Structure 1
């Protein structure tokens, strides 16, 4: 791996893990769905301006059939996944949230087996079991304290299921669109969908325009939704397998950032649980690096 690619991978991992941390800061100033809606609509509009303004003529508009798929991707990958994620972060530590991210490929594999007839090897089953044991070890002790609740864990679980279903739909649909076009439309569609529950559930709740709110918007829109997405596209273009392997370091970066910026404790259970999760991913073959096609 080239030194430049190594630096890009490390930067991507840190920025990706910072998402849960910056959400925690944002919750000091506004309710979760409001934060999500504002973030995605602003990011989506900026991306639309880039695609069809600055790059006018380079990217075609999706057709009616493609828009149907993009609607479901926006609902699942943006509205539900990140909306539920922000709701969960009211009662769950950012470290626990980040620990769940690498488990998503397992959920996708299960859905692919059920709905697409893809087989799962015994080694992969074993890796799943070990990783879920690691999740249990890391999360169960925190229920007794103030950093996590069962309700928060359930919200994260629903969010991960939604993302896995969205990934399955994307794979089955086989959209012939550039990745940046797919991301742009799923972000803006997801933000518009979130307007409905936001107005129903959080209408009238106070919004404080302070350093937390402004910092959340600047970081989540520019650093995460725009800049880090471009880093992800760069890594995918280089090697899709290696790109996904960077996600496996998310729990480590998440716990470190949570401890440094939020004062969240790194317990022995969290360390052991994270090691067990990574061991499960290794056993399942997730750490194997194959030559890219």
Structure 2
């Protein structure tokens, strides 16, 4: 049962970029993102309230939650939605999978944290995989360079948000943290979305509603609840399943969006997965899973 739930979570998480692609056919990316975050945050807030759980964090925590929401939701996911206009879903999932390496490099650069030799080798292998995937997108799919820059910028914002999250050490329920970072992220994103999207109206058709309902229900709510259940079996063991996201992302892009699936895409995915495995080999041997020190509740 747990294996099935883990595979379901990995599928839902990998499907987010595919669902976003459908929504982008019918409306501007930042409007889709702002509506998604608002609905997901308000629905989770209402459900938590109906279950008589606490929904309000302490007043002194609001500033930290606002910063996390700005970095992890407004910047990271906002940039991601913009990038998915031109970046293949498979390649996007490849960059998401290596987010722990962005955290690692920032910690090494700013916090002077020591990086193990195996982590360096894992980073080099994963970057080689990203390079092959990016080269394939730029030369064969003719993906604009600005799309890749947005993906990288979004991942850097996510890495900063992860470091800040662990640095401030916000106590309390991870569900409450996720609710308020979604709400704050939407608050910051709405003015930008309205400013840049006024000239492109939304087509309230099946693609738009299907994308929005899937992103809110299946990803922001469903995948999050599955993730918290998996965490009960141990964070390291749970996150081992994230190694599958690059392959699933490429397969979903191929089957649903009819994106090209080439030999180079497979090589890129294998290199990224091997790099992640290599970097976390010590954790795998000790706990049976992948290190999740950089993962926060915003991932869903």
> What TM bracket, shorter-length normalisation?
over 0.9
Q: Show structure 1 runs of 5+ residues with no match.
A: none
CA distance in 1: counterparts of 2:111 and 2:51, whole angstroms: 37
Q: Choose the corresponding residue for 1:10, options 7, 20, 40.
A: 7
Distance change >3 Å, CA 115–CA 65, structure 1 → 2: farther
Say whether 1:48 aligns with 2:41.
Answer: no
CA drift at 1:164 = 0.6
Q: Choose the corresponding residue for 1:272, options 255, 262, 267.
A: 267
Q: Choose the corresponding residue for 1:167, options 151, 162, 165.
A: 162
Question: What secondary structure does 1:123 align onto?
Answer: helix
Q: Choose the corresponding residue for 1:250, options 245, 254, 259.
A: 245
The equivalent residue for 1:31 is 28
The equivalent residue for 2:254 is 259
Give yes or no for contact 2:48–2:55 (8 Å, CA) kept in 1.
no
- What aligned pairs does 1:1-293 form with structure 2 within 5 A after superposition? 4-52=1-49, 54-56=50-52, 58-59=53-54, 61-146=56-141, 148-285=143-280, 288=284, 290-291=286-287
Question: What secondary structure does 1:194 align onto?
Answer: helix
CA distance in 2: counterparts of 1:290 and 1:94, whole angstroms: 33
Question: What secondary structure does 1:248 align onto?
Answer: helix
CA distance in 1: counterparts of 2:116 and 2:28, whole angstroms: 43
If the length of structure 1 is used for normalisation, what is the TM-score?
0.94
Give yes or no for contact 1:104–1:160 (8 Å, CA) kept in 2.
yes
CA distance in 2: counterparts of 1:203 and 1:182, whole angstroms: 31
If the length of structure 2 is used for normalisation, what is the TM-score?
0.92
Query: Which deviates further from its counterpart, 109-118 or 91-100?
Result: 109-118
CA distance in 2: counterparts of 1:19 and 1:128, whole angstroms: 25
CA drift at 1:55 = 2.4
CA drift at 1:291 = 3.2
**Cα RMSD, aligned residues only:** 1.5
Q: Show structure 2 runs of 5+ residues with no match.
A: 289-300
Summarize deviations over 1:83-104 as a string: whole Å, max 9, x none. Answer: 1001001111000000111211
CA drift at 1:250 = 0.6
**Following TM superposition, where does structure 1 have runs of at least 4 consecutive aligned residues deviating by more than 3 angstroms?**
114-117, 289-292
CA drift at 1:274 = 1.0
Give yes or no for contact 2:10–2:241 (8 Å, CA) kept in 1.
yes
